[in-house]
Amino acid sequence: MLKNGIPHATTLSRVFERLCPDSFQKVLLATASVLRSALDGKTILSIDGKALRHSFDKSLGQSHILIVSAYDSGSGITIGQVATACKTNEKTAIPKLLDLIDVSDAVVTSDAIGCQRDIVAQIVAQGGDYIISLKGNQSTLHDQVKEFFSEITMADLEKRPGSSVLYTTEKGHGRIEERAYAIVKDVAWINGRSKWANLNCIGMVISRRTIKGIISEERRYYITSIEPDVALF
């Protein structure tokens, strides 16, 4: 029981204003590390950037503030974040975020903006693994992986040594979501493979969505340092 009752919102604001952000973040990171150690299984850290709602100010010429965060899916906690001025700066914010967090024995995931050789090398140097989405920003690598998967069927991948396949189906609210996952260990043929630290497998996800009889399909491609464990992928 608080002697003088519950503090007013302005009192709490004054307290938070006086906190040292760096020191406070260190405490949060230490707490998250303890929670991680208590969990079973492989830690998945998802790195993503989101614009903060209502963070822009037209009168000051201030655009939305973008926060690049690392989310621990096991504990449900955001264990670190870095602010950046715009979407194009996300790839420079990711290395700063990695400096703040412990990725050892974890799998770090990111969309295509994190598909940079220096980011992949940093994850590996800090003792982690990665699963990174491929798109046009790495056009040569993307085209090689896309061409490989376009010339082989899922049935062939099921029989191929060093590859693994998994199928899932989700239904709800008049929607059917079917996914096919494939991961392949044979990557010796990739030109420039040595430039990507610990590049061990390539992956593909086929998503087929049916809504009111209308079918749409999307294919996404990935590079990863994990073993060909399709369940983890």
Burial profile 133-145: b = 16 or more Cβ within 10 angstroms, e = fewer = bbeeebeebbebb
Q: Which two structure tokens, joined as six digits, stand for 3?
A: 């002697």
Helices 117-125 and 90-100 meet at what angle, rounded to 10?
0
Is the Cβ–Cβ distance between 227 and 200 less than 8 Å? yes
Q: Is 97 helix (H, G, I), strand (E, B) or coil?
A: helix
Give residue 79's pLDDT. 84
Run of H or E residues at 99: helix 90-100
| Angle subtended at Cα 186 by Cα 185 and Cα 189, rounded to the nearest 5 degrees | 145
Band of pLDDT at residue 119, cut at 50, 70 and 90: very high
What is the C-alpha separation between 225 and 123, in angstroms, rounded? Answer: 10
- In the chain, the N- to C-terminal Cα span, in Å, equals 48
78 vs 59: CA distance, rounded Å? 32
Model pTM score:
0.85
Q: How confident is the model at residue 56 (pLDDT cuts 50, 70, 90)?
A: low
SS3 128: coil
pLDDT of residue 233: 96
Could you tell me what percent of the chain has a pLDDT over 70? 91
Locate 198 and state its tokens.
């610990």
Reply yes or no on whether the pLDDT at 62 is more than 70: no
The pLDDT tens digits of the residues spanning 12-30 come to 989 988 999 888 878 877 8
Distance CA(12)–CA(80), nearest Å, equals: 22
C-alpha to C-alpha distance for 134 and 115, rounded to whole angstroms:
7
